[in-house]
Chains A and B, each alone.
Chain A
Amino acid sequence: MDTRTKNVSLEDLQRIVGEEHAWEATPDDAVDGVGSSFVAEPGSVEETSELLRFAAEEGLAVSPRGGGTKASLGNPPREVDLVLSTVRMDEVIEHVPGDQVVRVQAGIKLEDLQERLGGSDQMLGIDPPETKSGATVGGVVAANSSGPRRHRYGTIRDLIIGITVVLSDGTVAKAGGKVVKNVAGYDLSKLFTGSLGTLGVIAECNFRLHPRPEAARTVAVELASTQAAGEAARAVLHAQLVPSAVELHWGEDERLLTVLIEGIPPGVEAQSDTAYYLLRGFGEVRTLTQEEAGSSGPSGAGDEVALKIGAPPAELTGVLDSVLGACSRRRVTPLISGHAGIGVTYVSLSGGDDEAYVQVVEELREIWTRRGGSVVVRSAPPSFKERVEAWGPMGSRLELTRRVKEKFDPRGVMNPGRFAGGI
């Protein structure tokens, strides 16, 4: 293990966070294959600030980590000296059910938070698949993770109402507040959403909450063609239904569009009937069992090449055709799923070699960038990432994006290189 890092010793870090909370990194602490020298777990905003100030003075490159479920998102960092883990900061700071607002430390696991909130029949309206593998709330914000219910509740940017961040020079700053409606000052909560640790460490977050639905039902239609997929999705979107999720599952054996209806029992009943009649014209319709309905969402971790395509929602058929076409020409097998009402499609590739995958991604990226969308590599083996940049082109935003980074992290020590535009 290489611990030559600058002039820093483990004891320096332990002095700040306590002896048990800093150690020399192991291979498991690598960030997308790039090894770190140290790991430290600060227990408070103050310790986080002190740690970052120290790291800045010593010129250490810092990679913030929550549950570690997104270590393979983005490009491999150029360097990592210190992994700063937020997991000790895992408290609910305040939850007043009557306000439908919660304030938490960033290191709390989303699953734990949802359980706590469930006690008051409330929830944070976000359901990324990484919830089950230990994603923290701060990590969800930093990675802008989302799940099927974004169809109804939006993404985390729509739910976050306040934030406390620590910049790379140790400055602690907050923005927003703990009220749902608030326009005082710039909305830094949104700026930090999806910034993947490159602007600073997210230490605390405040969210608006929603009542937990009493009942749920999933109605699914079997799809015979990509055309049917697009038409069925469009019919649901245009109807007066208010589904929580509209999901596409397109695999070898099963091709479904599912509509998740949630709410009070009589509402769920009536809306499910409507969904049933609406979908009948596109294929065979059935109600999924709870078990079937629960097994949705791409994992996005592991060694496969996993992509996320963002495209206008009405182009679902076009997205599917482009993926199927690009894959079949290279004898690659795609597994496709997605948030059909939103325009997010996940694809994981198997059965081919790197060269084939690279060609598929380049072809899709060319098509969907031209049509105003994007193709992001969510995870892939290192050999693949050497050949394909993870985020794709940034268009006219690139220069401005770099200027934002320069202001918040002028030394460029926060997760250098992982983000879009080489940031």
Chain B
Amino acid sequence: MEREALIRTMQSILGPEGVISEREQLRSYECDGLMNYRVIPELVVLPETAAQVQAIVRVCYDEGIPFVARGSGTGLSGGALPVESGVLIVLSRMRKILEVDIPNQRVVVEPGVINMWVSNEVAEDGYYYAPDPASQIVSSIGGNLAENSGGVHCLKYGFTTNHVMGAEIVLPDGSMVNIGGGKAPDAPGYELLGAFVGSEGTLGIATKITLRIVRKPEAVRTLLAAFKDTEEAGGAVSGIIGAGIVPAAIEMMDALCIEAVESAVQPGFPQAGAILIVELDGPAAEVENQFEQTLKICEENDASEIRVAEDDAERALFWKGRKAAFAAMGRISNDYYVQDSVVPRTELGKVLKKISDLGEEYGMRIANVFHAGDGNLHPLVLYDNNVPGEAEKAEKLAGDIVFTCLEHGGSLTGEHGIGEDKKKYMPKMFTTDDLNVMQLLRCAFDPHQICNPGKIFPTPRLCGERPGPFRMHPVQRAGLAENF
């Protein structure tokens, strides 16, 4: 289809305001939260209803045009990076909370709804939505679902995948399917919902999502403890977990990170080699008892200072410091490159040491802020893009960190996703057979591979389907796969 004809067709579905085709305007959609990769899409469309999404996807399917879904565009792996000659389907106009069902502890939303709005909506009833990515005031539920986003409280309460109970999805052929039970448990058939969550927008577009909400805990206690270095802080983490305590959160920051956060948002953190923020929540009697135990464990591990949040305001201040960590890097460095690898908790000490050695070897600074309870690291490699060669060096160093984590039994990514950014590393973690079998799922959902093509897998696999009567396979045309 000619560009002009495509624009007219989309306008007939969405009205003129729903279609963006001016190059200058298209530019604001050229990347997501990871700005290293930029592609200007052919068109941006802004549907307001599921039926419009379906109509858009049908056109794409019939014409063999690749498309990419985008929520709020905060992703950190290039998942919502547009495809050249493709359509970017932006879901930010689908922002209705469709239903609040307190007796069944469910909320039904459109995909563009912002994470935080869900908790706000049910706060008065004593509930909240548990997965809390640091981006929760901007990122969308659709994006959270696609990335299986995590947050500081996911150690105890689980990730997005444990809280999405049902979804209406538009498949890449334009058909609409409901997966997961929604309000009822154990729908018969394959666990398609579990496979769809975390599939990074490559299996279809979620147009309606049923979420589980959680009762607010009776008691919450939060402490901040300072240590000489990350190793001692790590000792306290092992002690807490080893005592059979499941904290709501355990976060660690190193000295460089504390420095950055301090200059950005002034939470008044102690100067230390490392700090831990530990939060316990649940029934009061249990929390009080285990909190005392946690304090003791921190002392036994030579904490130089321990602060207990006296009220919600002080707790909020601790968390403000933590959640501002990425943004705060701007205070101490022009640019940074963040990784998201995971290691088994018991390997943390060794891996942190190796990361620091790598930093020295490369002569670059690395700040660490991470989810210590589940071993999900966020090493921030600091560099200056104005210095020629530094960006490449930073990326290479970040790659070496990833390989170190894999050597210690870890994973490439704990929450940010593979997307465009890490697909080149996939063969380090998975065999060709592993990746081919994963792509069988892709072939079942998206046989023509028009849905967010080129992401996750380093080598796309064609599905043995004939790509329609007319022309080259869209993935080939976009230069994303060779024929094999």
Contacts and interface: CB of A to CB of B under 8 A. Distances in A.
A19 B42 CA distance: 63
Contacts of B198: 183, 186-187
Contacts of A144: 186, 191
B161 interface: yes
A400 B173 CA distance: 11
Given A171-B433, A173-B437, A187-B194, A391 B189 contact: yes
Given A188-B441, A400-B445, A193 B194 contact: yes
B434 interface: yes
A154 B195 CA distance: 17
Contacts of A417: none
A310 interface: yes
Given A190-B191, A312-B183, A403-B444, A240 B344 contact: no
A404 B444 contact: yes
Interface stretch (A282-290, A349-357, A371-379): A371-379
Contacts of B456: 185-186
A174 interface: yes
B411 A267 contact: no
Interface in A165-199: 165, 167, 171-175, 177-195, 199
B413 interface: yes
A399 B441 contact: no
A241 B219 CA distance: 11
Contacts of B218: 240
Interface residues of A, number: 92
Contacts of B18: none
Nearest to B443: A407
B188 A376 contact: yes
A127 to B, nearest CB: 16
A399 B178 CA distance: 11
Given A98-B238, A191-B192, A397-B179, A404 B289 contact: no
Interface string B412-447: 111111100010001001110111111011111100
Contacts of A214: 244
B230 interface: no
A183 B414 contact: yes
Nearest to B439: A186
B430 A174 contact: yes
A399 B444 CA distance: 10
A173 B159 CA distance: 24
A270 B285 contact: yes
Contacts of B176: 396
A158 interface: yes
B285 A420 contact: no
B246 interface: yes
B374 A180 contact: yes
Contacts of B444: 400, 403-404, 406-407
Contact of B187 (A173, A190, A192, A310): A310
B178 A395 contact: yes
Interface stretch (B62-70, B146-154, B314-322): B146-154
Interface in A229-254: 234, 237-242
Interface in A391-419: 391-392, 394-401, 403-408, 419
A330 interface: no
Contacts of B185: 310, 342-344
A99 interface: yes
Interface in B49-69: none
A401 B285 contact: no
A379 B440 CA distance: 32
B319 to A, nearest CB: 19
| Interface core residue of B106, B246, B411 (most chain A CB under 10 Å) | B411
B268 interface: no
B283 A270 contact: yes
B96 interface: no
A190 B182 CA distance: 17
Nearest to A406: B444
Contacts of A179: 342-344, 374-375, 409-411, 414
A313 B188 contact: no
B181 interface: yes
Given A181-B154, A182-B342, A310-B186, A267 B289 contact: yes
Interface centre among B105, B147, B417 (most CB of A within 10 A): B105
Contact of A264 (B105, B195, B217, B289): B289
Contact of A372 (B126, B181, B241): B181
Given A174-B434, A181-B375, A404 B158 contact: no
A87 interface: no
A11 to B, nearest CB: 29
A201 to B, nearest CB: 13
B413 A184 contact: yes
A373 B346 contact: no
A157 interface: yes
Contacts of A172: 433
Contact of B189 (A98, A190, A210, A397): A397
B344 A101 contact: yes
Nearest to A165: B437
Interface of B: 101-106, 126, 147-148, 150, 154, 158-159, 161-162, 171, 175-179, 181-195, 197-199, 215-218, 238, 241-242, 244-246, 282-286, 289-290, 342-346, 371, 374-376, 409-418, 422, 426, 429-431, 433-438, 440-445, 456
Report the 7 A-B pairs with minimum CB-CB distance, sorted nearest first. A190-B194, A267-B286, A270-B285, A211-B244, A314-B103, A173-B437, A373-B184
Interface of A: 96-101, 121, 144, 154-155, 157-158, 165, 167, 171-175, 177-195, 199, 210-212, 214, 234, 237-242, 263-264, 266-267, 269-271, 274, 308, 310-314, 342-344, 368, 371-374, 376, 391-392, 394-401, 403-408, 419-421
Given A184-B429, A214-B244, A420-B188, 9 more contacts: A158-B158, A188-B441, A310-B184, A376-B188, A400-B171, A400-B445, A404-B444, A407-B444, A419-B189
22 contacts: A98-B238, A98-B241, A172-B433, A174-B431, A179-B342, A179-B410, A179-B411, A181-B371, A183-B148, A183-B411, A183-B413, A187-B195, A188-B195, A191-B194, A266-B289, A270-B283, A312-B104, A343-B183, A374-B181, A374-B184, A397-B178, A405-B190
